[in-house]
Amino acid sequence: MKYQIQALDIERKLPDNSYIVSKTDLKGRITYANRIFMDMAKYTEKELLGVQHNIIRHPDMPRGAFKLVWDTLSGGNEVFAYVKNLAKDGQYYWVFANITPDHDPSGHITGYLSVRRKPRPEAIAAIEPVYQKMLDIEKQHHARDQMDYSINYLVDTLNSMGVSYEEFILGI
C-alpha cells in the first residue's frame, strides 16, 4: 500500500525518554513496531507490518543518507543517523537513530533493529543544512549518479572538518 501524503510544515516532537523501536527483515520490510512508533507515525500495526520502512520516508531526506545507512549495515556494522520522518497525517518528526544488524547463531545477518530517541535541537540545526545541500545536489543530477555526487559532498565536508562520519554524527 503506497500512501500519497502531503508533507506539512508541522513538527511533532518525540517526547523525552520515549524510544521508537522497529525491526525489519533483510529487505527493510517492517517486522516489528512498538507503540511509540505507531503514535508518532500515525500508522496502525496492521498498516506497518510487512511494508517497506520507507513508508515514513520524508521528501527532505537525501537519498545519499540512506545509501550510507544501507552500505554500513550490509557490511555488518551498526550505524547512527539523524532522520526526518513523515507521519501519515503529513507532520514530520526528527529522530536520532541507531540501526544494528541482527545475527543468527552462525553469524549471518537475519534482519535489522532500530532504536531512536529525540535529537538535541543543536544537532538538527547542524545536520539540516548538510541534508539540504545533499538534496540540492541530487536534484541537479540524473537518478543514476545523484547519490554518488551527494555522498561525495558529504565526504568532502567531513574531510575538510577532519572528522569521520561517525565522529561528526556523535559529536553534533
Q: Partners of 157 in the beta sheet?
A: none
CA angle 6, 142, 152 (to 5 degrees): 95
24 contacts ligand FMN (rule: CB under 6 A): yes
Q: Between 34 and 163, name the residue whose CB sits nearer to ligand FMN.
A: 34
30-33 vs 109-117, strand pairing mode: unpaired
Q: Does 112 bind ligand FMN (CB under 6 A)?
A: yes
- Map grid coordinates 556494522 to a residue: 77
Cell for 147?
A: 547519490
Nearer to ligand FMN, 61 or 151 (CB): 61
Query: 169 with 82: CB under 8 angstroms?
Result: yes
| Least distance between ligand FMN and beta carbon 128 (Å) | 15
Measured distance CA(46)–CA(75) in Å, rounded:
31
Site string for ligand FMN, 67-106 (x = CB under 6 A): ----------------x-x-------------x-------
Q: Are 146 and 137 in contact (CB under 8 A)?
A: yes
The piece of 61-69, 131-139, 143-151, 160-168 that touches ligand FMN (CB under 6 A) is 61-69
Q: Which residues bind ligand FMN (CB under 6 A)?
A: 22, 24, 28, 53-54, 56-57, 61, 63, 66, 83, 85, 99, 112, 114
